[in-house]
Amino acid sequence: MARWKILISIWLISIACLTGLTQSEPRDYSVSAPTVTFDEAGTTFTVEFTITNNGGDAVEDAQINITQGNGRIEATDILEPLESGEVLPIAFPFQTAGFEVGVQAFFVEVGIDQFELAGSPIARDNRKSFSVTIPETVAEQTPDVTITVDTDFDFVIPVLDIGIKFQDEGVQVDENFYSTHDILIGVGVVAMGLVILWFFTLILRLLFSRKPVFGTWTPPYAQQPYYDPNSTMGRRNSWQVHAQNGTIFDTCAQNNVVVLKRLLDMEGNILGEWSIKAIRTVQYDMYGRISRTEVVMPSKIVKKLNKVAQRSQSYDNPKLRKAVQPIAKDIAKLASKPINKKSAMLPIALDFRFEGKHGEVRIVFELYQCRNHGWHLIDQWEPEMAIVGHKIIESYTYTLNGQLGGETYKEYQKRLVEDVAWLLGGMLYRHQQPATPDPDMVPPDTLTGMAPITEGNMPSIADS
């Protein structure tokens, strides 16, 4: 019995070896480019192609499939083994009525199995694509021939390894075919989606974004008890309403007097612990401010200026000027939008709104007098304030000259940027000493000699 088992094993091994020898060279099926022909009535069309075995003799049957671009199998057949070099013509008839009108994409696949694996180099020519134009009516059907080779791409997208081929009926992307009609629909859907997305973001911006406002302001020291005008407190209270900012702009004429308003922290640093909350520009004339020219700067400009203000104590004049220059350019550009050439000669008020916490900030008034060609401090005091809550609100107002005589409108716009840059630098830098100030801290001629914005030419503080 054991002897018979040995003989059967030897016989099976011999058959396996002989089979391996006969299939020493693998088969290599190749499909030609399909052609499509309609009959005279246009009711049917026939797909014809040839199958060639470019490798060794085949030993097993293979599958022939014709599928649509969406993956639906429309026809299938069994291919018997072909000998090496054998060519076999194949034809598949189809009913025209079984397909939708328009360009339809098809694929023919032959022998993609365990001998020629899908995606392997040997199976690259086992699949071909073609398209068929299905007419609307039988009377309009004419014989049509469409040939498409899926491996001959016009170009291949690098990295992604996606082949693109442009055809008269549409575009082939790898093994998928998209007609012109499909492409137009896709473009329309994408365009509609972008419009809807833009409209949705616009609604969100309107709902959640707020238009910048400057708001109203009443000084915390505005409501003061009555003091004798001839007393020290009475004279100080009278000076407080004339303090517009913390910078000296007047020319030093003998005995001329100027009052300043300093915003400090508890250590005496300029604008230390104060934050800028809003910036506004508006033109004014002898009757007051012109509301249609008001421009409240967006929050991004305010944030940029706050960042510079936080580091201003470590800057010298050149570095500070370089830091505020782009901010001044943005402010001047926005301020010029509501200004036309006819109203360009009117001066501009530049307002800043500040906020600080009670116990962390101070407001100090200083009175200077010009003596011997230099400014000298003659009085300094802190106002009595009625504070409700933990916040202290303050405001600075600067005056910018309008277009001057002999100055073109273009020169005026350029000069406006330089004036705003000087004001920002003067506001953030250390305050002027009683002696002669540094050359960089001397205001330009376009900022000197301006009548300040006072109660006589502007609305009351509470309404501004």
Split at pLDDT 50, 70, 90, the class of 126 is confident
| pLDDT given at position 361 | 92
Count CB atoms within 10 A of the CB of residue 58: 22
Specify the 3-state DSSP secondary structure of 463.
helix
Selected residue with higher pLDDT from 363 and 140: 363
Q: How far apart are CA 141 and CA 98, in angstroms?
A: 15
DSSP state of 446: G
Report how far residue 368's alpha carbon sits from residue 15's, in angstroms, rounded to the nearest whole number: 118
Q: Measure the CA–CA gap between 351 and 297, rounded to whole angstroms.
A: 10
Q: Please count the other Cβ atoms lying within 10 Å of the Cβ belonging to residue 272.
A: 19
Please indicate, yes or no, whether residues 290 and 433 belong to a single structural domain of this protein.
yes
CA gap 220, 391 in Å, rounded: 10
Q: Which residues pair with 29 in a beta bridge?
A: 53
Kindly state whether residue 20 falls inside one of the protein's structural domains: no
* pLDDT for the residue numbered 62: 87
Mean local confidence (pLDDT), 245-255: 86
Do residues 198 and 318 both lie within one domain?
A: no
| pLDDT recorded at residue 73 | 83
Residues 314 and 248 in one domain: yes
Q: Are the C-beta atoms of residues 110 and 79 closer than 8 Å to each other? A: yes
Band of residue 191 on the pLDDT scale cut at 50, 70, 90: very high
Number of neighbouring beta carbons within 10 Å of residue 45: 21
pLDDT tens digits, 96-118: 888 888 888 888 888 888 788 87
The first and second tokens of residue 118, run together, are: 């899908």
Buried residues in 157-196 as b, exposed as e (16+ CB within 10 A): eeeeeebebebebbbbeeeebbbeebeeeeeeeeeeeeee
The answer as to whether 62 is a domain residue is yes
Indicate whether 331 and 393 sit together in one domain. yes
335: left (phi over 0), alpha (psi -120 to 50) or beta: alpha
Domain of 54 in residue numbering reads as 25-152
User: Same domain, yes or no, for 364 and 406?
Assistant: yes
Say how far apart CA 106 and CA 10 lie, in whole Å: 49
323 and 271, same domain (yes or no): yes
Inform me whether the pLDDT recorded for 382 exceeds 70: yes
Confidence of residue 356 (pLDDT cuts 50, 70, 90): very high
Chain center to CA of 344: 34
Residue 32 sits in a domain whose CATH number is 2.60.40.10
Please check whether residues 239 and 306 belong to one and the same domain: yes
pLDDT of residue 455: 46
Contact status, residue 252 vs residue 375, Cβ threshold 8 Å: yes
222 within a domain of the structure (yes/no): no
54 and 114 part of one domain: yes
What are residue 26's phi and psi, to 5 degrees?
Answer: -70, 155
pLDDT at 274: 92
Do residues 126 and 116 touch, judged by C-beta distance below 8 A?
A: yes
Residues 201 and 271 in one domain: no
Q: Is residue 371 part of a domain?
A: yes
Q: Residue 226 domain-assigned? A: no
pLDDT band (50, 70, 90) for residue 338:
very high
Which DSSP string corresponds to 333-367? HHHHTT--SSSTTS-EEEEEEEEEETTTEEEEEEE
**In-domain check, residue 7:** no
Same domain? 246 vs 376: yes
Higher per-residue confidence, 68 vs 446: 68
CB 346 within 8 A of CB 340: no
pLDDT value of residue 460? 37
CA dihedral angle for residue 177, residue 180, residue 184, residue 189, rounded to 10 degrees: -20
Overall number of domains in the chain: 3
My answer on whether 136 and 255 are in the same domain is no
Least confident piece of the model among 175-184, 187-196, 443-452: 443-452
Mark which of 152, 170, 187 sits at the end of a domain: 152
Q: Which residue has the tokens 């004798």?
A: 228
The letter for the amino acid at 135 is: P
Q: Is residue 29 within 8 Å of 82, Cβ to Cβ? A: yes
Higher pLDDT, 158 or 6: 158
Q: Of 106, 128, 152, at which residue does a domain stop?
A: 152
- Write down the pLDDT at residue 164: 78
DSSP code string of 184-199: HHHHHHHHHHHHHHHH
User: Under a CB-based contact definition with an 8 Å cutoff, are residues 142 and 131 in contact?
Assistant: no
Q: Are 26 and 111 contacting, i.e. CB atoms less than 8 angstroms apart?
A: no
- Predicted local confidence at residue 149, as pLDDT: 44
Residue 438 has pLDDT above 90, yes or no: no
Domain termination site, one of 152, 169, 184: 152
170: phi then psi, degrees, rounded to nearest 5: 165, -150
Q: Are 54 and 139 members of one domain?
A: yes
Q: What is the pTM of this model?
A: 0.54
Angle CA 134–140–142, to nearest 5: 70
Q: What is the DSSP letter of 23?
A: T
